[in-house]
Structure 1
Amino acid sequence: MDLVVSGPTFLDVTLAGLQATVHPGREVFAQDAALGPGGAAIAAIAASRLGLQTALHSDLGADAAGLLCRDVLMTEAVDVSAAPLLDGWRTPLTVCISDRDDRAMATFQEPPPRRRTPPVAARALLANLRDVAARARTDGTVVVADIGWDASGRWDDGDLAPLRSCDVFLPNSVEAMAYTRTATPREAARALGDRVERVIVTCGAEGVIALDAGAGSESLIPAIPVDAVDTTGAGDVLGAGVVAGLLRGWQFADVAAFGALCAGLAVTRLGSATASPTLAGIDEWWRAARADAALSSRYAFLEGLHDAEAGLPSQEPTG
């Protein structure tokens, strides 16, 4: 197995193009809709589409939502042996109301039935920082972690303690600045670089900041120009792209650029997991992008990616 993605799975119901704002006592119609797995399943499906043998470590209820998520995951060649269907527990559900710039979400989630240590029988682990297993890195697994929003508003510095067990940290700019008490994403990335060797701070339409403290390098990678339709799950898709780049042995700036590219392509379609790009889709984008001098230079590492690889080359991960 190349990758284990660990975290909660949701059934995402996405609505786009609402005719008006939703108010109590009023029915509002949407112009489009999508249904599919959300949460950790987004990264698992995205990684599978990028050629990684991927397993999902999660819980699903033995209900209609759980069965639908499981069917889609299996269709996408994701190993679900560590994602059991649980009787008497309902699969979490999120309703996403999307516009081109952002989205609003309403979620139902019962307390998880149990908290288990993610398995590490894979070349890489992608998980929330709070769930990172300390032993994973010592077992040779490349550990990539995000952290998510702190609903308590405390932004406790202690939440960052598991960074000592990580290889790459993927916060968004708001999270990074809140935890480090800094004023800019770049300052936040540098502060986090004192705790973990590699950091990618995502900045939405502004792109990403990639810091490799060990190599002493820092890159600002602009977002690719796209017409955004739905930003749901973009961070999860970016995480899958980052792992795919790490396991291919690329330079860290290229790893970050690939993750940003995958996320950029994903937001051009409605939905979450099933909007993530395939290697063939990335190759199609690259063939068109070569006409742009800046894109051709930044993404030259993509040349021949789809044609040359049925899977992953036998390179050591850059953990």
Structure 2
Amino acid sequence: MEQKPKITVVGSINMDLVTIASPLPNIGETVFGDQFQMNPGGKGANQAVASARLGAHVQLIGCVGNDRFGKDILEHLQKEGVDVSNVEPVTEVTATATIIVSNQDNSIIVVPAANNHVTAAFVESKRDVIAGSDILILQLEIPLEGVIKAAEIAKENGVTVILNPAPIQELSSELVKNIDYLTPNEHEQLLLKKDRRSEELDGKLIVTKGSQGVSILEGNQETTIPAYTIDVVDTTGAGDAFNGGLALALCRGFNLREACKYGNAVAALSTTKLGAQTGMPTREEVEEFMRSQF
């Protein structure tokens, strides 16, 4: 029997409040929306579900509120096969993300709440979990000190680290030195270029470009891995799907280009359904989809 890759995700856990409306209201204007959904989300939880559906053994490290949202999310993640034994309820309310979808694009407002409890001390208490992983996935919806500590623990134990730098903020040299792959989108990459330490990112950048695919940047060389053409319903969570797919493929021994190609397929399929986690495809769906493209 094939051994499952061990992927640990340290990150955010939200309840997504999704509204579909077209057109969007102007300031002071009220419009009727077309559809509303309430779905478990958060970049950390999204990436955990993506990896789990693809066949990895996934451990999620994070915090939820001791409220109805938190209880519903934990129950949902367990059904998805994510190990939530290292997700702790706190007195703060569960984080929320208000997502407005219009003409296939989205705008998001996140209220961190319980995610703010994923501190360096909290992450340190999960050292053994991180140390026993094949790959660690991180994002920036939790306190930066928690991200830095997680990457440090991973590097000390030879664990590959993927950082999805969203929402974008300045990255310290301390953090960058412990990152193996950085996966910004085009907007985030532009802001990273303005950072005085941008040269430290050389050889680590994988830039996601939506319908234009992804670019692997190494020195002055840029390798583009084309996206798959597919009918898009909702792009929410597509970046998280890519990161989950990238991690899974790297665990299975794919080279970086093939891993990015696999991640593109996962991301493409994720856009065919409304919602972030609900759109994540299974390993079988991805493999069948990739076979059908030839």
SS in 2 for 1:220: strand
**CA distance in structure 2 between the partners assigned to 1:211 and 1:249 by the alignment:** 20
- For residues 233-244 of structure 1, the aligned pairs below 5 Å read 233-244=237-248
Distance 1:266 1:106, change over 3 A: same
Distance 1:122 1:41, change over 3 A: same
Is the Cα contact below 8 Å between 2:6 and 2:134 reproduced in 1? yes
**CA distance in structure 2 between the partners assigned to 1:42 and 1:11 by the alignment:** 11
- For residues 77-226 of structure 1, the aligned pairs below 5 Å read 77-86=81-90, 88-110=91-113, 112-115=116-119, 116-117=122-123, 119=127, 120=130, 121-128=132-139, 130=144, 131-132=147-148, 133-150=151-168, 156=170, 158-159=171-172, 161-181=174-194, 194-211=200-217, 218-226=222-230
Is the Cα contact below 8 Å between 1:4 and 1:126 reproduced in 2? yes
SS in 1 for 2:42: strand
Q: Give the TM-score normalised by the residue count of structure 2.
A: 0.84
CA RMSD of superposed structures (Å):
2.5
Structure 2 unaligned spans of 5+: none
Is the Cα contact below 8 Å between 1:45 and 1:274 reproduced in 2? no
The one-letter code sitting in structure 1 at the alignment partner of 2:178 is S
Q: Give the TM-score normalised by the residue count of structure 1.
A: 0.78
Identity %: 25
Structure 1 unaligned spans of 5+: 183-190, 291-319
The one-letter code sitting in structure 1 at the alignment partner of 2:185 is N
The one-letter code sitting in structure 1 at the alignment partner of 2:13 is T
Q: CA deviation at 1:19?
A: 6.5
**CA distance in structure 1 between the partners assigned to 2:135 and 2:284 by the alignment:** 23
**CA distance in structure 2 between the partners assigned to 1:149 and 1:20 by the alignment:** 23
State the aligned residue count. Answer: 274
1:33-92 deviation per Cα after TM superposition (whole angstroms, max 9, x unaligned): 352233210000000011100011110111111111111100001000110122x21001
The one-letter code sitting in structure 2 at the alignment partner of 1:273 is Q
Is 1:72 aligned to residue 76 of structure 2?
Answer: yes
Structure of larger gyration radius: 1
Is the Cα contact below 8 Å between 1:193 and 1:211 reproduced in 2? no
**CA distance in structure 1 between the partners assigned to 2:25 and 2:135 by the alignment:** 42
Higher strand share: 2
Distance 1:252 1:192, change over 3 A: farther
Q: CA deviation at 1:29?
A: 2.9
Q: Point out the more displaced range, 26-35 or 100-109.
A: 26-35
Q: CA deviation at 1:113?
A: 3.1
Is the Cα contact below 8 Å between 1:193 and 1:199 reproduced in 2? no
